[in-house]
Structure 1
Amino acid sequence: MKDNFSALAKEYSKYRPAYPNDMVDYILSFVKERNCALDVATGNGQVAALFSSYFKEIYATDISSKQLEHAVSKGNIFYSRQPAEATGFNDKQFDLITVAQAVHWFDFDAFYKEVYRIVKPEGVIAVMGYGLLQTNTESDKIISRFYRDIVSPYWDAERRYLDQNYKTIPFPFNEIYTDRNFVNTFTWNFEQLAGYLQTWSAVQHYKEEKGTNPFSLIEEELKLSWQNNNKQVTFPLLLRIGKL
């Protein structure tokens, strides 16, 4: 698994969007028991925190100690630094395993083998993510140019799985198919928008290679468009749910 986010742990915690309660409720509707859950590649612990009210224990792992330093603190969440593909958990331990905006970085075969080992019979795995944000027409044109032209060469190859809405990832489970479409909408000031865009891994790769921040190429234009519009941000959400 790649670690593209340790250097931005604080910003990631501050600017990355959360997931809505209706999506959490939908995932939970397929979970038979609610004793023990695992959030893999937890980052700042936002998903672990969302599910913590519903389970006796939540375990959350990440390969980045920097990310874990900024993780949400809850009495029933237990964080540890572990790779997704080889954990120290017991066989058949978890009722639910979640992965948010991270499965595309994993060694699929090794991770799914580990899932089969540690999830309970009839346990559930939920893979979540979000696609390219949508705003107003004027700002969308600027963000699209930033995404597809300016930083496009600097995306890791794995980014394609998000662009393909996670439909092309291997998923060797009894899949629960749904026609539900989830979105999350926020009202953001320009600092929040700018902060989020600069957490993109492609932006970090660009900065490492060129020594400059590509966001500066669109900052003033985007700021003006943001001031002239409704400041609404919508994320299309990705979700695949499977049972063993």
Structure 2
Amino acid sequence: MADLFVKQAKQYAKTRPSYPAELFQFIASKAAFHGLAWDVGTGSGQAAQSLAEIYERVVATDTSPTQLGFAPKLPNVRYELTSPVMSWTELEKKIAPESSLDLVTIAQALHWFDLPTFYQQVKWALKKPNGLIAAWCYTVPEVNGLVDSVFRPFYADSDPFWDPARKLVDNEYRGIDFPFEPVEGADSTGPFRFVSERAMTLTEYFTYIRSWSAYQTAKGEGVELLSSNVIEKFERAWNEDGNSPKIVKFPVYLRIGRTGN
């Protein structure tokens, strides 16, 4: 999985949407303690950076040294390069001992994991009761009616070049296995919807698209998704109202649960 993002790691770090503060506030409000958090599949550290403002210590792990090279260096964040298939020994040595984590987070990565094994390790490492696991994904961007009308068929054309796991993201993590108990005040584990917003120029919007694993896969097969014809369509739609940059919205869908006794 990590290999999908190595070639475009710099673009990925620059253009990947940040996550809304409300998301982290919601997670923190459901946590009994804010001591130690593990951010799994941290990539270039977007979630770890936000967690570091709330939790005393954060362990952030990824299987890609290239991605970790772009992560922000913070005094209470420890980055660890881990194996694609983490052993129990590696878990205890690099992450934390049994029943010691207050929170496990997975941002835009849960769909890549061997879930049965991962969940066993999460349940072993989280405190009992009420250790939290929070996993979220963001779906396709929303700009306005004109731009989105160009994006929708463009995204459909990209479908053959996405890994099949992408379908779990398109489905807002509704169909993903998540064997945990609802947090206090909730009658399910979600998904709960949040929205991330950022101002983007059309050039930045294209840079975001070029950071897709599907874009890189298509390019490797000799297919240019952003052909001159497609770019022209986006330019006409983007410039229709004469405003640039534009606010681009990324819907974020959270699954959150807790351990039992």
User: What TM-score range do you get, normalising by the shorter chain?
Assistant: over 0.9
Q: Secondary structure at the match of 1:112?
A: helix
1:190 to 197, 202, 205: 202
After TM superposition, give the deviation of residue 6 of structure 1 in Å: 1.3
The residue number in structure 1 matching 2:44 is: 44
1:127 to 132, 135, 140: 135
The residue number in structure 1 matching 2:162 is: 155
Instruction: Output one character per residue of 1:132-171: Cα deviation in whole Å (capped at 9) or x when no partner.
Output: 111111111211111102x111111001101111010000
d(CA) in 1 for partners of 2:238, 2:32: 45
Compute the TM-score of the two structures, normalised by the length of structure 2.
0.88
Letter in 1 for 2:148: D
d(CA) in 2 for partners of 1:153, 1:179: 26
d(CA) in 1 for partners of 2:170, 2:191: 19
Letter in 1 for 2:57: E
Is 2:107–2:135's contact at 8 Å kept on the other side of the alignment?
Answer: yes
The residue number in structure 1 matching 2:249 is: 234
After TM superposition, give the deviation of residue 213 of structure 1 in Å: 3.0
The residue number in structure 2 matching 1:207 is: 219
Is 1:84–1:111's contact at 8 Å kept on the other side of the alignment?
Answer: no
- 1:216-227 correspondence runs (5 A): 216-217=227-228, 218-227=230-239
Deviates more, 1:157-166 or 1:179-188: 179-188
After TM superposition, give the deviation of residue 9 of structure 1 in Å: 1.0
Deviates more, 1:61-70 or 1:85-94: 85-94
Matched, 1:107 2:111: no
Is 1:85–1:114's contact at 8 Å kept on the other side of the alignment?
Answer: no
After TM superposition, give the deviation of residue 117 of structure 1 in Å: 1.4
Instruction: Output one character per residue of 1:193-232: Cα deviation in whole Å (capped at 9) or x when no partner.
Output: 111111111111101111x532134222212321224522
The residue number in structure 1 matching 2:55 is: 55
- Computed over aligned residues only, the root mean square deviation of the Cα atoms, in angstroms, reads 1.6
Letter in 2 for 1:136: N
The residue number in structure 1 matching 2:175 is: 168
After TM superposition, give the deviation of residue 181 of structure 1 in Å: 3.0
Instruction: Output one character per residue of 1:15-74: Cα deviation in whole Å (capped at 9) or x when no partner.
Output: 000011111100100111111101000011010000101111100000100000000111
Letter in 2 for 1:236: P
d(CA) in 1 for partners of 2:98, 2:177: 22
Deviates more, 1:63-72 or 1:176-185: 176-185
d(CA) in 2 for partners of 1:58, 1:107: 23
d(CA) in 2 for partners of 1:85, 1:115: 14
d(CA) in 1 for partners of 2:216, 2:71: 21
Is 2:174–2:191's contact at 8 Å kept on the other side of the alignment?
Answer: no
2:149 to 119, 141, 155: 141
After TM superposition, give the deviation of residue 84 of structure 1 in Å: 6.7
Is 1:84–1:106's contact at 8 Å kept on the other side of the alignment?
Answer: no
1:118 to 125, 140, 150: 125
Letter in 2 for 1:145: P
After TM superposition, give the deviation of residue 180 of structure 1 in Å: 5.1
- 1:1-40 correspondence runs (5 A): 1-40=1-40
Q: How many residues align?
A: 242
Matched, 1:74 2:74: yes
Letter in 1 for 2:146: E
Deviates more, 1:101-110 or 1:178-187: 178-187
Which stretches in structure 1 are left out of the alignment for 5+ residues? none
Letter in 1 for 2:257: G
Deviates more, 1:133-142 or 1:217-226: 217-226
% of aligned pairs identical?
Answer: 35
Q: Tell me: CA distance 1:63–1:6, structure 2 relative to 1, closer, same or farther (3 Å).
A: same
d(CA) in 2 for partners of 1:120, 1:51: 18
